Amino acid sequence: MTALTVDARDGCARSGRLRTAHGEVRTPAFMPVGTHATVKSLDPAEVRASGADILLCNAYHLALRPGVDLIERAGGLHVFMGWDGPILTDSGGFQLVSLRRVTSVDEEAATFVSPYDGSRLRVTPEEAVSLQARLDADIVMCLDQPVGWGSSAAAAVAATERTHRWAARCRALHPGDGRLLFGICQGGFDARTRSESAALIGGLGFDGIAVGGLSVGEPLDVMEAMTAASLAELPGDIVRYFMGLGTDSELLAMVDLGVDMFDCVAPTRLARSGSAMTRDGRLALRRAMYRDDLRPLVDDCPCPACTRFSRAYLRHLLAAGEILGHRLLTLHNLTHLTTLMAATREAITAGRFAAFRAEADARLLAGRASGDGPDDPPFPAPPQRVGARRIPATLDPSG
Amino acid sequence: MTALTVDARDGCARSGRLRTAHGEVRTPAFMPVGTHATVKSLDPAEVRASGADILLCNAYHLALRPGVDLIERAGGLHVFMGWDGPILTDSGGFQLVSLRRVTSVDEEAATFVSPYDGSRLRVTPEEAVSLQARLDADIVMCLDQPVGWGSSAAAAVAATERTHRWAARCRALHPGDGRLLFGICQGGFDARTRSESAALIGGLGFDGIAVGGLSVGEPLDVMEAMTAASLAELPGDIVRYFMGLGTDSELLAMVDLGVDMFDCVAPTRLARSGSAMTRDGRLALRRAMYRDDLRPLVDDCPCPACTRFSRAYLRHLLAAGEILGHRLLTLHNLTHLTTLMAATREAITAGRFAAFRAEADARLLAGRASGDGPDDPPFPAPPQRVGARRIPATLDPSG
């Protein structure tokens, strides 16, 4: 019996429950990102109230600051950060791409230079697993080596093969004691390499498999083809996690292919730039058109931003640089994604996922949310790329 | 019958209840500052949970942004900002000192230049009252003209006399309909001028009286002498409000003289710089000595920061620049002050305020909270002056 129970299937899409040592995760699931042991701007009780079952922390960042020793001594991440639900920790593999100027890789290990104090952190695949176990992660990710969009085929193959050797070393050290260990398949941007990687990783007996190294700048059709090539080779009874996604439309496209789990900094990062996620597209609250708009942000959304405040008040908070604006938009965006996932699960159970996805995409395409008002001059433009968790070449990709 | 019911007296100190259109305020009371219609970093539900009965907003700032029209159309400040308790609005008089480079005053009105867009806002005393009524303030403050510490006696007398003429104009326009109108006595730093001002303002029939123009840099003994000179001339049955205070020790000193209400940006501003207010003095959480400290911030404090997290986690949040750290420290500091006020009321009721104050001061003087560990190098030094709500020569004194 695997940790996943599939309750319903609709085409390749599926709805189920993943059992972890700290409770059940309803899938398809969206995981809020709490890189530094906090989902940016939120109290863990708010994360729970937004509908999230599980969150993601980053073992690489936490190992550098505040350090694994402290978190272990505190009783693990759950106690340290006050979140009693499941936690997945990312291994730091992605930082080999996003922080490539301050990392190096050899066959034995990955070496990171701390952006905080310049110290070096050398991590073998085995250490990546044991560090995450010491953090008390419910889901431990293998150390992998992705490649960026635009890398050569030879570089992709070499990194993928190393990922395979590292995966076997991680698997040999499965921490057990109720933790789940997830493999990560790679393969660059070639369908055959993707298939081979998925078949190999899928055969190692992991508790779940992540599709890694995508949503790094490639076009959507490439992302879809690479994901399809990967998923076709994976065992049907274990959970599948697409790392670092995304927009509503991307999430539904990947659910359609059979993905069960997602994470992304988009809801927190968009909130910081003043954007609300809605079923009609993004609503850029900083626009002057919302200055006197006393309507709720989104009519039927159950989040505090929508039930207790107006667009005009939220815009006022953003204009005044007030933290409550950031908080309320973050809560809204998380609620939007967990609500989307809940509706997705219902649609799958009812056997109407295709229609559900088509309706959601059509409504997004109509894109009425942002209207056509001019941007309000006093505010800076929002950042250019927010759809991906994995934003290369930044030292702090933490939502 | 006045809006204040005095339930207990102990020397000059008194404990009571102030009735407003949005509920009762237990006095002595500390009012959190929500300059821009939000207490920095907090949800109004959290402000309530911290034990605050009433908060302060700034009519001058709100008139400039987002504008009185919008807030009035939203149904008033309570609806706009989601706070259903009492609200006191400051008139903008203090900005005549703190923003003196961008303000001018003549007999008819004060003129402010907006720091946001350079536009001019000219406000007569009558308009100051009607603007606050349109905001739906429960307590409306007169427009006054304070002077800074170091001003000449002649300037202080002239400003005080203008304050008196403006007070009479405000009083003639008492907005009624359940709102309370508070006069502000001035008098610079001369005891006789203070006494005369208090006698005059105290005779105009206001619902409460504020002592203004203090805590602007003068020594504590001057502050105490000026307050005592003012309070001696005020009617005994109406509420007394000291504007812009302060530290635990200062608050208790003023309660001892008979003050009932306070406001200050200290709890929010100290939180921003990483300092926790405790009965043993300020605890500078950024210090390296708290890095591995898994104890609660303050043992018997009921706030979320103290009951659900450790010093080490709070310090980690501050080190990582995470908003939750700011939030939790703000909640803690507000809870500290509302708890201090609750204990003060109990001590007055029990007739042991003098002993209570002496014990509190002795414990603060011992000042064990901060320890003697070195400052942690990666963090900037905290701002130099945080004890006063009223910080001259800054364009954004909003906590």
Q: CB-based contact (8 Å) between B74 and chain A?
A: yes
Q: Decide if A316 and B37 are in contact by the 8 Å CB cutoff.
A: yes
**Alpha helices per DSSP H over chain A:** 44-49, 59-64, 68-73, 77-81, 95-98, 125-135, 153-172, 191-202, 220-231, 248-257, 266-272, 304-308, 311-319, 323-349, 353-366
Q: Decide if B36 and A320 are in contact by the 8 Å CB cutoff.
A: yes
Q: Say if CB B359 and CB B332 are below 8 A apart.
A: no
Rounded CA-CA distance A208/A140 in Å is 10
Q: CA of A189, closest CA in chain B: separation in Å?
A: 35
Q: Write down the pLDDT at residue A38.
A: 98
3-state helix, strand, coil in chain A (%, to 5): 40, 20, 40
Which one of B41, B116, B312 has the shortest CB-CB distance to A66? B312
Q: CA of B285, closest CA in chain A: separation in Å?
A: 14
- Catalytic residue annotation of A: 90, 263
Q: Strands B208-211, B180-185: parallel, antiparallel or unpaired by DSSP? A: parallel
What are the tokens at A193?
Answer: 């390499």
Whether the per-residue pLDDT at A387 is higher than 70: the answer is no
Chain B residues closer than 8 Å to A78 by CB: none
Mutation target among A35, A65, A119, A323 for the B interface, most CBs of B within 10 A: A323
Q: CB-based contact (8 Å) between A377 and chain B?
A: no
Cβ-Cβ pairs closer than 8 A, A with B, add up to 97
Q: Decide if A324 and B294 are in contact by the 8 Å CB cutoff.
A: no
Q: CA of B315, closest CA in chain A: separation in Å?
A: 9
* ipTM here: 0.92
Q: Decide if B313 and A81 are in contact by the 8 Å CB cutoff.
A: yes
Which one of B41, B80, B292 has the shortest CB-CB distance to A324? B41
Q: CB-based contact (8 Å) between A42 and chain B?
A: yes
Rounded to an integer, the average pLDDT of A201-222 is 96
Chain B residues closer than 8 Å to A309 by CB: 82
Per-residue pLDDT of chain B (399 residues; tens, 9 = 90+): 689 999 999 999 999 999 999 999 999 999 999 999 999 999 999 999 999 999 999 999 999 999 999 999 999 999 999 999 999 999 988 888 888 777 899 999 999 888 888 889 999 999 999 999 999 999 999 999 999 999 999 999 999 999 999 999 999 998 888 999 999 999 999 999 999 999 999 999 999 999 999 999 999 999 999 999 999 999 999 999 999 999 999 999 999 999 999 999 999 999 999 999 999 999 999 999 999 999 999 999 999 999 999 999 999 999 999 999 999 999 999 999 999 999 999 999 999 999 999 999 999 999 865 543 333 333 333 333 333 333 333 333 344
Q: Decide if B323 and A65 are in contact by the 8 Å CB cutoff.
A: no
Mention every residue, 6+ apart, whose C-beta is less than 8 A from residue B120.
B111, B112, B113, B114
Q: CB-based contact (8 Å) between A272 and chain B?
A: no
Q: CB-based contact (8 Å) between B323 and chain A?
A: yes
Determine the 3-state secondary structure of A141 from DSSP.
strand
Whether the per-residue pLDDT at A384 is higher than 50: the answer is no
Rounded CA-CA distance A192/A194 in Å is 5
> Among A246, A241, A270, A230, which Cα is nearest to A91's?
A241
Tell how many helices (H) and how many strands (E) occur in chain A: 15, 16
Whether the per-residue pLDDT at A379 is higher than 70: the answer is no
DSSP states of A330-377: HHHHHHHHHHHHHHHHHHHHTT-HHHHHHHHHHHHHH--TTTTPPPPT
Whether the per-residue pLDDT at A394 is higher than 90: the answer is no
Mutation target among B70, B324, B327, B398 for the A interface, most CBs of A within 10 A: B324
Q: CB-based contact (8 Å) between A165 and chain B?
A: no
What would the pLDDT profile of A90-125 be if each residue is shown by its tens digit?
998 888 888 877 789 999 999 988 888 888 999 999
Q: Strands A281-284, A87-90: parallel, antiparallel or unpaired by DSSP? A: unpaired
The alpha carbons of chain B give a radius of gyration, in whole angstroms, of 20
Whether the per-residue pLDDT at A66 is higher than 80: the answer is yes
CA B89 from centre of chain: 11
Q: CB-based contact (8 Å) between B317 and chain A?
A: yes
Q: CA of A207, closest CA in chain B: separation in Å?
A: 31
Chain B residues closer than 8 Å to A292 by CB: 70, 73
Q: Say if CB B167 and CB B91 are below 8 A apart.
A: no
Q: CA of B370, closest CA in chain A: separation in Å?
A: 21
Chain A residues closer than 8 Å to B65 by CB: 316, 319-320
Read off φ and ψ for residue A317, nearest 5 degrees.
-60, -40
Whether the per-residue pLDDT at A52 is higher than 80: the answer is yes
Determine the 3-state secondary structure of A112 from DSSP.
strand
Q: CA of A385, closest CA in chain B: separation in Å?
A: 22
Task: Name the A residues in 229-248 with CB < 8 Å from any B CB.
Answer: none
Model confidence, pTM: 0.92
Whether the per-residue pLDDT at A205 is higher than 50: the answer is yes
Q: Strands A55-58, B29-32: parallel, antiparallel or unpaired by DSSP? A: unpaired
Q: CB-based contact (8 Å) between B318 and chain A?
A: no
Task: Name the A residues in 107-126 with CB < 8 Å from any B CB.
Answer: 116-117
Rounded CA-CA distance A33/A267 in Å is 9
What are the tokens at B158?
Answer: 């002239």
Which one of A41, A70, A292 has the shortest CB-CB distance to B292? A70
Read off φ and ψ for residue B116, nearest 5 degrees.
-90, -40
Rounded CA-CA distance A331/A285 in Å is 15
Which one of B70, B292, B324 has the shortest CB-CB distance to A43? B324
**Unique residue bearing structure tokens 């996620």:** A277
The Cβ of residue B153 has, within 10 Å, a number of other Cβ atoms equal to 12
Rounded CA-CA distance A162/A154 in Å is 12
Q: CB-based contact (8 Å) between B42 and chain A?
A: yes
Q: CB-based contact (8 Å) between A7 and chain B?
A: no
- Catalytic residue annotation of B: 90, 263
Q: CA of A41, closest CA in chain B: separation in Å?
A: 5
What would the pLDDT profile of A269-280 be if each residue is shown by its tens digit?
999 999 999 999
Q: CB-based contact (8 Å) between B295 and chain A?
A: no
Determine the 3-state secondary structure of B20 from DSSP.
strand
Q: CB-based contact (8 Å) between B66 and chain A?
A: yes
Q: CB-based contact (8 Å) between A162 and chain B?
A: no
Q: CA of A37, closest CA in chain B: separation in Å?
A: 8
Chain B residues closer than 8 Å to A82 by CB: 308-309, 313
What would the pLDDT profile of A308-349 be if each residue is shown by its tens digit?
999 999 999 999 999 999 999 999 999 999 999 999 999 999
Chain B residues closer than 8 Å to A303 by CB: none
Which of B396 and A179 is assigned the larger pLDDT?
A: A179
Chain B residues closer than 8 Å to A41 by CB: 323-324, 327
Q: Write down the pLDDT at residue B22.
A: 98
> Among A300, A270, A303, which Cα is nearest to A370's?
A270
Q: Decide if B313 and A378 are in contact by the 8 Å CB cutoff.
A: no
DSSP states of A69-81: HHHHHTTSHHHHH
Q: CB-based contact (8 Å) between A316 and chain B?
A: yes
- Check the CA dihedral A298-A300-A303-A309 and report its sign: positive
Q: Write down the pLDDT at residue B116.
A: 84
Q: CB-based contact (8 Å) between B83 and chain A?
A: no
